[in-house]
Amino acid sequence: MKGRSSSKMKVFEPFKINQMELKNRMVVSAMVTNYCSEDGMATEKFIAYHEHKAKGGWGLIITEDYAVTPTAGGFKKLPGLWEDGQIESHKELTRRIHEAGGKIRNRARFAMEIIENIKEKCGKDYPVLYRMSAVEYVPGGLEIEESKILARLVEEAGADCIHCSQGVYASTHVIIPPSVVPRAAYVENAAEIKKVVDIPVIAVGRINDVEIAESVLQADKADLVTMARASLIKETN
C-alpha cells in the first residue's frame, strides 16, 4: 500500500457487528497454539500470546477451539472448559485482552451455539430466554462491561429475552440478598444490559413490592421484573 495513507484505508475503518463495535476490520483467525496446559488451563504463554495481538491493534480476536470434555480435543494442549476449575484462567485471558483494547468472541461460543441449536430445532418463533449473572461480585469475576458484550452476542445468536441476574455460589449474599440490602439494589445491572440490546430485559433482586416493580418499569430500567420470595407469601383471609 505504498503511498497510501492508513487513515484512508478501509481496512482501518471502524466496523460494527450487530451491537459489537470494532476499532478496525482486522481479525485474528482461530489458530491452534498448543500453549495451554494438558488439563485445559490458560497458561501465561497462552494469555500473553493473545494479549500481544490485542495490544498490536487487531479489531477482533477469535480464539482457537475450546474442548468441552477431556477427550474432545484433537491436540493435547487445547484450551478447555469442561470443569469449573478451568474458568478462572480463561477469565484472566478475557480480562487482559479487553484491557489491551481487543474483543474476544469465543468465550460466548458455547451459549451462542446452544441458542442457535434451539432455534434450529424448535423454530424461529420458539421463545428463548437467556439468564446471565451480569456481575458475579467475586474477585476476578464477570463485570458489567464484559456482560454487555455477552448480551449483544446472545441476542445476535437468537435469544429473545435476557434475564439479568447476579452473583455466583461464592457470593450467595448477592444471589439470596438479606433484608438489609436495599430494595431493587441490582436493577442498574439490568439497566446497563438494556442499553445495548433490542430484546426485552428482565430485572431481579429485592424487587418485592408492586410499587417498586412499577418504578423500575416506569424508569425504563427493565421490561419485566421478577419476584422470588415475594411470590411465596400466602394470602390471608
Nearest Cα neighbor of 94 from 17, 150, 163 is: 150
CA distance 192 to 99: 20
pLDDT band for position 232 (cuts 50, 70, 90): low
> What distance in Å separates the CA atoms of residue 165 and residue 226, rounded to the nearest whole number?
10
**pLDDT value at 174 more than 80:** yes
Name the pTM for this structure.
0.57
- Dihedral (CA of 128, 175, 135, 110) sign: negative
User: Which phi and psi (to 5°) does residue 168 adopt?
Assistant: -135, 180
For the residues 165-192, what does the mean pLDDT come to?
87
pLDDT in tens, 108-150: 778 888 999 999 999 989 999 999 999 989 887 888 988 998 8
pLDDT tens per residue, range 39-51: 999 999 999 999 8
Domains and CATH numbers, the chain: 14-104 (no CATH), 123-237 (3.20.20.70)
What number is the average pLDDT over the span 76-80? Answer: 91
Give start and end residues of each alpha helix (H) in 32-108: 44-55, 87-99
Axis crossing angle, helix 109-122 with helix 144-157, rounded to the nearest 10: 30
Task: Please give the Cα distance from 212 to 215 (Å, whole number).
Answer: 5
Which of 23 and 166 is assigned the larger pLDDT? 166
Give mean pLDDT, residues 28-42. 90
